[in-house]
Amino acid sequence: MNILLTGGAGYIGSHTYVALLEAGYTPVILDNFSNSHPAVLGRLQRVTDRQVLCETGDVRDTAFVQDVLRKHSIQAVIHLAGDKAVGESVANPLKYYFNNLGGAISLMQAMQAVDCKVLVFSSSATVYGDPASVPIAEHFPRSHTNPYGHTKLVIEDMLAAQSAARPDWKVAVLRYFNPVGAHACGLIGEDPAGIPNNLMPYISRVALGQLPFLEVFGGDYPTPDGTGVRDYIHVCDLAEGHVAAVRAMLGGSSGMQVNLGTGRGYSVLEVVRAFEQASGRTVRHRIAPRRPGDVAQCYANPGLARQQLGWQARRTLEQMCADAWRWQSGNPNGYRDDA
């Protein structure tokens, strides 16, 4: 069965591509490479020993998306394409509303035109805002604290409206917690442009000596060691969660909204120590002021995904750090060294 991966050349997309192939599906990438590198395609061919099917274009081009859906007889779509930097979304909200909402609307219109009815959507734990308690369950209230999170929340609502209007549509909303790590082969991984916003790529570059030290944003949170606690999930576990969702939706399951997390929170300092263990490197760090918009704790109750998808995360924090280090140390400049 052919599965379309919008944003499939990105961090989550490339790992989901591999997981889909391993599960016997035929993934087709749709990407405009505005936030990913074409070299990923060559890497994926090396990892999978298969010619990579990729259509270059913008998910907001509805006619283009329709053509791709028809050309490849797509049975289900995994929608990953979109912008995801919280800070950038605050500075440039119109870019986020246009790209993320416009892309989702265009995709849904194209799917409707060709009668493709199965959609797995990349949402985010950010839709829970600042949770009243942890672990977070799917019925918890949603809110947003930035335009990026707002786009995820609005797209969830658009998908719910579409499913209500067209009950034959099957929609799975996957709320990611904190994806980290890389495929064990070391050929694909997270490659943010410029200075990383997220913790794990930042730590990786400090360990490699590309950045001088890590600023730990806040040491006075109401957490065991005062630093922020998050639910880090191996990107390969997350990818396998997408395969489970595609399988469930194609198998006739009703739509769902599920957390993709491990259910275990780790503090910033715990991640630093785990990374030092895994890499054998020192990660110089210092406590700095809190980052505006950060919450103290955010980790999942993963029970619903286990119950509805038969999926749960398996990989440990040590594996996440070891795989992240293998990728970073083997590719100091990410994909930019490839021709």
Q: Any idea which residues carry the catalytic annotation? A: 148
Write out the two tokens for 232.
Answer: 């880090």
- Shortest spacing between CB 19 and ligand WQD, in angstroms: 18
Task: Choose which of 67, 88, 215, 276 interacts with ligand WQD (CB under 6 A).
Answer: 215
143 near ligand WQD, judged by CB under 6 A: no
Which residues in 160-179 contact ligand WQD (CB under 6 A)? 176, 178
**DSSP secondary structure, 118-148, as one string:** EEEEEEEGGGB-S-SSSSB-TTSPPB-SSHH
Task: Fill in the per-residue mask, 298 to 327: x = in contact with ligand WQD (CB under 6 A), - = not in contact.
Answer: ------------------------------
The phi and psi torsions of 277 (rounded to 5 degrees) equal -60, -45
- Shortest spacing between CB 110 and ligand WQD, in angstroms: 24
Query: Which residue bears the tokens 């246009």?
Result: 98
Interface region with ligand WQD, contact rule CB under 6 A, candidates 161-169, 198-206, 255-263, 306-314: 198-206
Task: Choose which of 86, 107, 155, 243 interacts with ligand WQD (CB under 6 A).
Answer: 86
228 near ligand WQD, judged by CB under 6 A: yes
- Shortest spacing between CB 291 and ligand WQD, in angstroms: 5
Please tell me the distance from the alpha carbon of residue 262 to that of residue 82, in angstroms, as a whole number: 24
CB 230 within 8 A of CB 186: no
Longest dimension (CA), the chain: 55
Which residues in 66-85 contact ligand WQD (CB under 6 A)? 84
Task: Count the site residues for ligand WQD by CB under 6 A.
Answer: 19
126 near ligand WQD, judged by CB under 6 A: yes
Residue 188 vs 211, nearer CB to ligand WQD: 211
Please tell me the distance from the alpha carbon of residue 8 to that of residue 30, in angstroms, as a whole number: 6
Interface region with ligand WQD, contact rule CB under 6 A, candidates 104-112, 208-216, 234-242, 321-329: 208-216
- Shortest spacing between CB 198 and ligand WQD, in angstroms: 3
- Shortest spacing between CB 197 and ligand WQD, in angstroms: 5
14 near ligand WQD, judged by CB under 6 A: no
Residue 61 vs 215, nearer CB to ligand WQD: 215
Write out the two tokens for 137.
Answer: 């369950």
Q: How far is CA 255 from CA 123, 188, 308, in A?
A: 14, 31, 10
Please tell me the distance from the alpha carbon of residue 296 to that of residue 226, in angstroms, as a whole number: 9
Q: What is the DSSP letter of 339?
A: -
270 near ligand WQD, judged by CB under 6 A: no
Please tell me the distance from the alpha carbon of residue 275 to that of residue 74, in angstroms, as a whole number: 40
291 near ligand WQD, judged by CB under 6 A: yes
Please tell me the distance from the alpha carbon of residue 125 to that of residue 267, in angstroms, as a whole number: 17
3-class DSSP assignment, residue 305 = helix
144 near ligand WQD, judged by CB under 6 A: no
Q: Nearest-5° angle of CA 285, CA 286, CA 290?
A: 120
272 near ligand WQD, judged by CB under 6 A: no
Please tell me the distance from the alpha carbon of residue 144 to that of residue 51, in angstroms, as a whole number: 40
Please tell me the distance from the alpha carbon of residue 66 to that of residue 114, in angstroms, as a whole number: 7
268 near ligand WQD, judged by CB under 6 A: yes
88 near ligand WQD, judged by CB under 6 A: no
294 near ligand WQD, judged by CB under 6 A: yes
CB 310 within 8 A of CB 242: no
217 near ligand WQD, judged by CB under 6 A: yes
198 near ligand WQD, judged by CB under 6 A: yes
Judged by the rule CB under 6 A, the positions of this chain that interact with ligand WQD are 84, 86, 124, 126, 176, 178, 197-199, 202, 214-217, 228, 230, 268, 291, 294
